[in-house]
Amino acid sequence: MASANRFEGKVVVVTGSSAGIGRASILRFAKEGASVVVHGQSKEKLESVKKDLLGLKVDESRILVIAGSLEDEATQNRLIDETVKRFGRLDILINNAAIPGKAGCDPNSMEGFDAVMIVNVRAIYRLIQLATPHLEKTKGSIVNITSDLSERPMTGSMPYSISKAALNHLTRNFARLLAEKNIRVNAVGAGLTETDFITRMGMPKEAITHIFTEVAKTIPLQRASNADEQAEMIVNIASPTNTYMTGSIVFNDGGIRIGN
């Protein structure tokens, strides 16, 4: 059983933590003693997460909220700079934020491709570069959130699937590069999860219902996961008690890649 305070004294940044898997993860880190940096774009959702953290008796001094889009380098800078300014250190970076496509355009268009790659790959690459000097001091950890779609085609939205495949190899490359600095880099490949992420793909309500009923039946475990199940994996991989894993892509997908 995990210690109730294994993250005490640690500082954790979770991008895209105003909802879904990121939100579930930030709450778990805080419950176990971490000071946390909450990030998102919706003021309402960010305020809701902060309210939940305070409801867990997390002292306000352990909470930093940063709003902004990750396609903006200024937001990337603030995530690292304001974290270190506020807490004096950085121990764990969870690269969770991603977009399924660009609203109002064909997902497979070049415009859609560029939008997805900027957020899902380039922003993560740059955030890791910015965070490295601070993580080196703490012998920290990075966890990138990828997807089972990194290993399966998704012709309806190819850039998303391609971006997650790129993220897998980005993870391996940075793990090799940063091993000499004692920074661990791993990834969690989340499977179909009950969050609003698919809704943001712009699919009709009927198509979304079909995914969570009929498509979910093709998963060997016969269901979608929930955000807490993904957060459990993320937190355990990021844990300071997990000292020897690096360069690994751990799929938490109900077995979808092995078929039914």
**Contacts of residue 89, Cβ cutoff 8 Å, sequence gap at least 6:** 11, 134, 137, 138
> Residue 160 catalytic?
yes
pTM beyond cutoff 0.85: yes
Amino acid of residue 76 = Q
Measured between alpha carbons, how far is 146 from 97 in angstroms, rounded to an integer? 10
Please provide the DSSP assignment of 61-112 as one string: GGEEEEE--TTSHHHHHHHHHHHHHHHS---EEEE----SS-TTS-TTSHHH
Predicted pLDDT at 78: 98
Residue 221 near residue 254 (C-beta atoms within 8 A): yes
Q: Give the model confidence (pLDDT) of 7-36 as tens digits.
A: 999 999 999 999 999 999 999 999 999 999
- Check residue 202 and give its pLDDT: 58
List the catalytic residue out of 29, 160, 197, 251.
Answer: 160
pLDDT for position 206: 76
Q: How far apart are CA 180 and CA 164, in angstroms?
A: 26
Please, what are the domains in the chain? 11-191+227-252 (3.40.50.720)
